[in-house]
Amino acid sequence: MRNPMEFRANVESGRSVAVGPPPSALGDLPGGPSIDALLERAARRMPRRAAIRADGAEWTYDELNTQVTRFARALRQLLPDLGSVVAVPAVADPAFVTALYGTSRSGNISVILNPLWREDGLVHALRTSRAQIAVVTPQMYRVLSDIRYNLPYLDTVILTHAADDIPDVPVLGDLRAPAPPPSTTVSPLPDAVACVLFTSGTTGASKAVMLTHRNLTVNAAQTAYAHQLDDRSVTLNCLPTYHLMHLNSSVCAMARQVLHPKGDPAGSLKAAVDNGVTHYYSLPVRLAQLATAEPATGPSKPVPTLRAILSGGSALPVERAAVLARRFQVPVVQGYGLAETSPLSLCDPLDASRHGSCGVPLPGTQCRIVHPDTREVRPLGETGEVELRGPQLMKGYLDVEPLPRDVWFATGDVGRMDTAGHLYLVNRIKDVFKCDNFLVSPTEVEAVLRRHPAVDDCVVVGRADPDRGALACALVETRDPTVRADDLAAFVNGQVPYYQRIWRVEIVDEIPRSANGKVQRIDLRDTVARWTLPAGPPENPTQGEN
């Protein structure tokens, strides 16, 4: 799978289209096109290949496949009706592999739970999906015990691991089906729902996304192809939770995965060196720390086997990517996707990365930019809403009419494409605001603010104003304790048009983020709404624009 991707940008239609084909190896999936067949295929081809390493322990593909079959048999005893819903925790542990693929192999549907959710998130996901069984960590179980009364569909809870203070609750690894077990051979239709994945909810309530077996198996192949994964690859998942994309693509390529959920950069570097890692996956907030971490080896190349650093979840600042690329001497690439697209849709090519870009479409995927109001396709280079189309596009939202086949999906993101087909994101539509009827892009203002030598990180949001629409405000993390908030505002306001000027800067120890590293702008808007702003503008608008 080391073939470089090829792309074509159609200047007349404004579309970027991938023309490099995905690998054809998925044509031999045993037992049909189900997601668990990815694991069965790997176990059949390379049974003794190390599949996952976590906390010093290791599991082969054959061992994982055996655990999956055992759990599937137990589920068939607990859920005699096919198509039931089983909640599984996206914990960075082989328990997620067992629960996810075992649910599929039993003919049921998984709903993915973020193990870092608190009461509200768990109630929303379990009630919305009507899950009958939930596999949870001991920590999640303690949260569930206080809200169980509010979960009318939930019949059975299973622990990922035993805990001394939680007796009499079944444990995932101990489940056994009575002999003789029922058949676990299930051949789902390609377009049958495989799992329900909830959106991040950064701008509102999380939506329940229905992903099919076709969505997930195709996206596994697309991602493995784009990331140039094969059975020689060793991936390091330096992420707080396990993601479908990382699991499925690595299993598809029969690669080895090293799970390192801790955010310590020194520890992740040591794990990368010790395991001969080729692909380092992490979040932008953690990569920023990695850029300045002390290397575990000599200064020439911190991880000799490394071939790429891959970022996702939110935008990686260009300057951070440049520092990492110089230090590790590998491409630092960004991807783009949503829960609705299984999730990956575009990826910066490893052989032709462009810092600041989130890439080009994966094979079989189309991307275009449209006017947010008229929906007319915008020419390449112009800004508008990003729309996507491809085989990884979801079946639809739960309890909503399924999407028509080959529909263009409006992402809610604002971006532009260059003539080579690279996508550059500008903002979420809901994050863009108007001041005096001028559109203000928070990321454009943030880019100016980050140029100040004292700024380590920042976020700009609009504060509603009855007369002018909204006014820009900023939260800033600094590396210089002597810098003043007013100085930072003045630095920006001397370089931007008046309607982009910042009305108030608040210096904070840490910018609030979700557990997966995303800025929660909907919460920050509530925060800045309580701020007191100066009576007059930062500078007189009649002085003209810069």
Contacts for 415 with CB less than 8 Å, ≥ 6 apart? 369, 383, 384, 385, 386, 423, 424, 425, 426
Give the separation between CA 50 and CA 129, rounded to whole angstroms.
34
CA distance 479 to 399: 48
Domain residue extents for the chain: 57-187, 433-543
Instruction: State pLDDT tens for residues 343-353.
Output: 999 999 999 88
What whole-number percentage of the chain has pLDDT above 90? 66
Contact indicator for 253, 235 with CB cutoff of 8 Å? no
Report the CATH number of the 57-187 domain: 3.40.50.980
Fold category of 433-543 in CATH: GMP Synthetase; Chain A, domain 3 (3.30.300)
Q: The pTM is what?
A: 0.83
Q: For residue 497, what pLDDT is reported?
A: 84
User: What is the structure's pLDDT at 203?
Assistant: 46
Does the pLDDT of residue 18 top 60, yes or no?
no
pLDDT at 182: 55
Token digits for 206?
Answer: 């999380």
Average pLDDT over residues 219-246: 96
| pLDDT at residue 296 tops 60 | no
Length of the chain: 546
* 164: CB partners within 8 A, 6+ apart: none
pLDDT for residue 459:
94
Residue type, 22: P
The predicted pLDDT at position 299 comes to: 57
| pLDDT for res 298 | 58
The highest-confidence range among 51-60, 72-81, 316-325, by mean pLDDT, is 51-60
pLDDT tens string 81-134: 899 999 999 999 999 999 999 999 999 999 999 898 888 889 999 999 999 999
Helices (H), 85-146: 94-105, 119-129, 138-144
CA gap 358, 378 in Å, rounded: 19
Asked whether 315 and 290 are in contact (CB, 8 A), the reply is no
Residue 236: which pLDDT band, with cuts at 50, 70 and 90?
very high
Q: Could you read off the pLDDT of 482-539 as tens digits, one per residue?
A: 999 999 999 999 898 888 999 999 999 999 887 667 787 778 988 999 998 887 767 5
Amino acid 438: pLDDT: 74
pLDDT for 2: 44
Q: List, for residues 464-475, the tens digit of each pLDDT value.
A: 887 788 899 999
pLDDT higher at 426 or 215: 215
pLDDT at position 428 is 79
